[in-house]
């Protein structure tokens, strides 16, 4: 029986690195230290790994460009900025350029080797044209209502929602409202679903105010006022714009956040850390998600990852004064 041919996975395991690092080291690409490059080359030699040149030639980028598509909304702009920095950093490490693909672009999308779609919105007119491209697509959260095969990088919104609700309840809150986005994104659907399930499991009456991520600040403030009007003594906010709206509504009523009104936000942002008071939230690691999206897309382009791969991103609770716990 013929001996099993060594693969790039075997080299990665022996060298103790990722398959992407192996590929970069053997091709002389990316930011690989001389020590790592030597270790990879030694591991390949030890097990007799020989790259499949025919397959390798097919995986080399045709344009050297990765497309990045962002939602045209300001409700999570800090999150998207961090994500973009992560994408840019990791694309540079793989020797790829980045081009932004706008939903308002009249012409066909530019020539790219693959596309990263961040927080796809229902009704985004640019998405169908992107999905028609014959290139791999990685999405940060699912594209709703679309069957097109795409890889996924996803944050743990379920865990984030439950952790924050439990924290508010432990602080004594009896009537916890939800101020979040309507179901035009995957994450918004998941946050609302988890909130409703938590309320049912804990015998709590749900109080929900939802707005489009495209809505004005005044609209979000009206939603916050509505939750306060029905007697909510704590509010879980979805995007940071909701948290800032709740602070405005509470200040207008001289209602002290923390002692008098518990609040937390599912999505962390620098502006929440500097708010008065600072707002408890969950770090969903947007920069790391951006980097992970690039690594996944590059892995698909090189044939090292399946086109429907899924990469989870863990969430970290950040307790601050708005829940009276920091």
Q: Indicate the helix (H) or strand (E) that contains 66.
A: strand 65-69
Question: What pLDDT score was predicted for residue 125?
Answer: 80
Distance CA 122, CA 23 (A): 37
Q: Is residue 70 part of a domain?
A: yes
Question: What pLDDT score was predicted for residue 78?
Answer: 86
Residue 55 has pLDDT above 70, yes or no: no
Q: Is residue 220 part of a domain?
A: yes
Same domain for 302 and 278: no
Same domain for 255 and 169: yes
Q: Is residue 148 part of a domain?
A: yes
Q: Is residue 2 part of a domain?
A: no
Same domain for 121 and 233: no
Q: Which of these three, 59, 76, 96, is where a domain ends?
A: 59
Same domain for 260 and 196: yes
What confidence tens digit (pLDDT) does each residue in 160-196 have? 999 999 999 999 999 999 999 998 899 999 999 999 9
pLDDT, greater one: 303 or 249: 249
The model's pTM is 0.78
Q: Is residue 293 part of a domain?
A: yes
Same domain for 261 and 174: yes
pLDDT band at 3 (very low <50, low <70, confident <90, very high): low
State the average pLDDT over residues 122-149: 86
Question: What pLDDT score was predicted for residue 32?
Answer: 81
Residue 53 has pLDDT above 50, yes or no: no
Same domain for 258 and 167: yes
Return the percentage of the chain with pLDDT > 70, whole number.
Answer: 91
Same domain for 183 and 143: no
Sign of CA pseudo-dihedral 118, 235, 189, 306 = positive
Residue 259 has pLDDT above 50, yes or no: yes
Same domain for 292 and 269: no
Going by C-beta distance under 8 Å and a sequence separation of 6 or more, which residues neighbour residue 293? 86, 87, 90, 116, 138, 140, 153, 311
State the average pLDDT over residues 257-265: 94
The domain in which residue 21 lies consists of 8-59
Distance CA 237, CA 216 (A): 16
Residue 144 has pLDDT above 90, yes or no: no
Same domain for 279 and 178: yes
Q: Can you give the CATH number for the domain in which 294 is found?
A: 3.40.50.2300
Residue 57 has pLDDT above 50, yes or no: no
Same domain for 75 and 146: yes
Q: Which of these three, 41, 59, 77, is where a domain ends?
A: 59
Least confident of 9-13, 137-141, 154-158: 9-13
Q: Is residue 1 part of a domain?
A: no
Cα 269 versus chain centre, distance: 13
Cα 123 versus chain centre, distance: 20
Question: What pLDDT score was predicted for residue 54?
Answer: 42
Same domain for 273 and 294: no
User: Residue 119 class from Cβ within 10 Å (0-12 exposed, 13-18 middle, 19+ buried)?
Assistant: buried
Q: Is residue 55 part of a domain?
A: yes
Distance CA 158, CA 166 (A): 12
Return the percentage of the chain with pLDDT > 90, whole number.
Answer: 63
Same domain for 278 and 165: yes
Q: Which of these three, 17, 44, 59, is where a domain ends?
A: 59
Long-range contact set of residues 60-63: C-beta below 8 Å, sequence gap at least 24: 61/96, 61/113, 61/301, 62/111, 62/113, 63/111, 63/112, 63/113
Q: Report the 10 Å Cβ neighbour count for 273.
A: 12
- Which of 51, 118, 125 minimizes the C-alpha distance to 85? 118
- Indicate the number of domains in the chain: 3
Question: What pLDDT score was predicted for residue 4?
Answer: 67
Q: Is residue 3 part of a domain?
A: no
pLDDT band at 225 (very low <50, low <70, confident <90, very high): very high
């Amino acid at each position: 029986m013929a001996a099993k041919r060594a693969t790039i996975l075997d080299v990665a395991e022996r060298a103790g690195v990722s398959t992407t690092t192996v590929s970069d080291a053997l091709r002389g690409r990316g930011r690989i230290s001389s020590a790592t490059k030597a270790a990879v080359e030694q591991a390949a030699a030890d097990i007799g790994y020989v790259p499949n040149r025919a397959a390798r030639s097919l995986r080399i980028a045709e344009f050297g460009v990765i497309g990045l598509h962002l939602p045209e909304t300001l409700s999570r702009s800090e999150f998207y900025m961090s994500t973009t920095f992560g994408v840019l950093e990791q694309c540079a490490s793989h020797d790829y350029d980045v081009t932004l693909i706008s939903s308002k672009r009249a012409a066909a999308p530019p020539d790219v080797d693959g596309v990263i779609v961040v927080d796809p919105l229902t009704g985004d007119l640019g998405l169908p044209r992107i999905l028609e491209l014959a290139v791999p697509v990685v999405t940060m959260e699912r594209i709703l209502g679309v069957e097109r095969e795409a890889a996924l990088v996803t944050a743990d919104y379920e865990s984030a929602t439950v952790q924050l609700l439990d924290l508010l309840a432990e602080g004594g809150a009896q009537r916890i409202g939800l101020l979040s986005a309507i179901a035009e994104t995957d994450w918004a659907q998941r946050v609302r679903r988890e909130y409703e399930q938590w309320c049912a499991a804990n015998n709590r009456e749900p109080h929900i105010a939802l707005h489009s991520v495209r809505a004005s600040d005044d609209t979000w403030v009206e939603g916050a006022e509505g939750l306060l009007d029905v007697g909510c003594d704590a509010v879980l906010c979805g995007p940071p714009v909701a948290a800032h709206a709740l602070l405005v509504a509470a200040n207008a009523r001289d209602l002290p956040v923390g002692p008098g009104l518990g609040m937390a936000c599912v999505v962390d942002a620098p502006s929440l850390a500097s708010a008065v008071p600072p707002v408890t939230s969950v770090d969903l690691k947007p920069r790391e998600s951006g980097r992970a999206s690039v690594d996944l897309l590059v892995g698909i382009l090189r044939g090292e990852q399946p086109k429907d791969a899924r990469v989870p991103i863990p969430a970290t609770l950040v307790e601050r004064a708005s829940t009276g716990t920091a």
